[in-house]
Structure 1
Amino acid sequence: MKSIIIASTSTVHGSGPLEYLLDELKVHFKSVNEILFIPYARPGGISHDEYTAKVAEPFKKIGKTVKGIHTFEDPKKAIKEAKGIFTGGGNTFVLVNQLYKNDVLTSIKDAVNSGTPYLGTSAGSNICGLTMNTTNDMPIVYPPNFKTLGLVPFNINPHYLDPDPNSKHMGETRETRIKEFHAFNTQPVIGLREGSWVEVKGNNLTLKGNLDARVFEYGKEPYEIPTNSDLGFLK
């Protein structure tokens, strides 16, 4: 049975890394001692070792160890043998490019569909959707394809921001950018606000966290759905 947490962010304002999710992660990874971490997104360009060390700290609090996939000679074998997988945030283009380079997208999808618990935050959540086309990141590298894991039947927009009526910023809002996406694509998009996540248990998809999410469907006006809503209607 699929068991996935697709979180908007690893850190919410005023708390430490993954702190707001630790109670959930205790349950999510309850049968896991060591988590395989995929650090390819490299936030701020940090090294894979640095990123893995940072991620290991919050997991220590719930009695879990973390090992970076980059330390394995055979990443496909590491994924196949992993008891739990976490893909962290950073730049989605860098992440997807490295996943294609190492030819591990199918390996991750097969593992998760076979029941290996998966956690994604930010870029690691983007790849759970049908494509990475609704990322907020700069295209600093060019992946061979924008198709991703397709673990859910829609796209994700992490860190979703509502328009600020008092802002003097003249650039596009997130809503405008997603509407531009729907000028060329038809799959739904969920705007996940900070501190929210999608929980996948088997065939059940549920919005979790304290905040509502914004849903964008092709040919419709965007609308809000409250936390704890069943997302099965987007299948």
Structure 2
Amino acid sequence: MKLLLLSNSTAPGHGYLEHAREVIAEHLRGVEELLFVPYALADHDGYTAKVTAFMEPLGIRVRGVHTGEPGQLATEAEAVFVGGGNSFRLLKSLQTRGLLEAIRARVTAGAPYMGSSAGTNMACPTLRTTNDMPIVAPLSFESLGLIPFQINPHYLDPSPDTSHMGETREERLTQFLEENDVPVLGLREGTWLRREGERLELGGVAAGARLFTYGAGPVEHVPGADLSQLLAAPARFDIGDA
């Protein structure tokens, strides 16, 4: 399986996807046409045009999955990119259009998968560690399950100077682990994961990522870290109900 999972699509001082241009070009080397899934945003045509503008200099054509029969296009896709936006809207769209099964089967068969933010959330077993507001209700929280652990994109470290009195990201993920025995990787801005077969590597900026596991404190990982052990991690959800 070949995956590229980005925490974010836009970084400060860079255009859309530009901060990850080199790794995207490498991930999609040899791909002539990319199937783009724009359902996390409302303007599907506008979103697809934005991706097209980035991919064109790389010599990659882009087709929006909304421009034809979605399931058939996914089944025939050379590669798939699921863009960011609202994860709840995205998952509901994938479910109602039969795309969870079609994309999962295509990627499992070898087609490269790329996700950013919400699209990265979709690669996890469930939606449960998204940061997004539930603006719609998906049929369930089950997503693609291309990896056996959870990711929290856009991970933010606790700030002692903030006036915000709600839970920090660390507190929210700790609460998740009170109910579920599933590793969660907090991907800071500018970071990504690359999966090639059974190898999983962290890439991106020096800030790296933070790994949360059941019954243990968070562990820091820097770019270049081999996280392949996470691919063998057993997932136990709803252990609080057991």
TM range (shorter): over 0.9
3-state secondary structure, aligned to 2:195: strand
* Rounded Cα–Cα distance in structure 2 between residues aligned with 1:232 and 1:64: 29
Equivalent in the alignment of 1:21: 20
Equivalent in the alignment of 1:128: 123
Which amino acid in structure 2 is aligned with residue 201 of structure 1? E
Q: TM-score, normalised by structure 2?
A: 0.93
Equivalent in the alignment of 2:35: 36
- What is the Cα deviation at residue 62 of structure 1? 1.1
* Rounded Cα–Cα distance in structure 1 between residues aligned with 2:173 and 2:21: 31
Equivalent in the alignment of 1:102: 97
Equivalent in the alignment of 1:147: 142
Conserved? CA contact 1:22–1:62, under 8 Å: no
3-state secondary structure, aligned to 2:50: helix
Equivalent in the alignment of 1:55: 51
- What is the Cα deviation at residue 53 of structure 1? 0.9
Q: TM-score, normalised by structure 1?
A: 0.95
Equivalent in the alignment of 2:239: none
- What is the Cα deviation at residue 61 of structure 1? 2.1
Equivalent in the alignment of 1:116: 111
- What is the Cα deviation at residue 216 of structure 1? 0.5
Aligned-pair identity (%): 46
Count of residues in Structure 1 that have an aligned counterpart in Structure 2: 230
* Rounded Cα–Cα distance in structure 2 between residues aligned with 1:141 and 1:214: 29
Say which of 56, 62, 66 aligns to 1:66. Answer: 62
Conserved? CA contact 1:154–1:187, under 8 Å: yes
The answer to whether 1:11 aligns with 2:10 is yes
Once the two structures are superposed, what CA deviation does each residue of 1:85-114 show, in whole Å capped at 9, x if it has no partner?
100000000000000001110111111111
Equivalent in the alignment of 2:236: none
Which amino acid in structure 1 is aligned with residue 76 of structure 2? E
Moved over 6 A (4+): none
* Rounded Cα–Cα distance in structure 2 between residues aligned with 1:6 and 1:52: 19
Which amino acid in structure 1 is aligned with residue 174 of structure 2? K
Equivalent in the alignment of 2:132: 137
Which amino acid in structure 2 is aligned with residue 215 of structure 1? L
Q: Which runs of 5+ in 1 are unaligned?
A: none
Equivalent in the alignment of 1:219: 215
- What is the Cα deviation at residue 18 of structure 1? 0.7
3-state secondary structure, aligned to 1:55: helix
* Rounded Cα–Cα distance in structure 1 between residues aligned with 2:26 and 2:220: 28
* Rounded Cα–Cα distance in structure 2 between residues aligned with 1:143 and 1:225: 33
3-state secondary structure, aligned to 2:102: helix
* Rounded Cα–Cα distance in structure 2 between residues aligned with 1:58 and 1:18: 7
Worse overlay, 6-15 or 163-172: 163-172
Once the two structures are superposed, what CA deviation does each residue of 1:177-231 show, in whole Å capped at 9, x if it has no partner?
1111112111110000111001000111111112321000011111111211111
CA-based RMSD: 1.0
3-state secondary structure, aligned to 2:188: coil
The answer to whether 1:202 aligns with 2:197 is yes
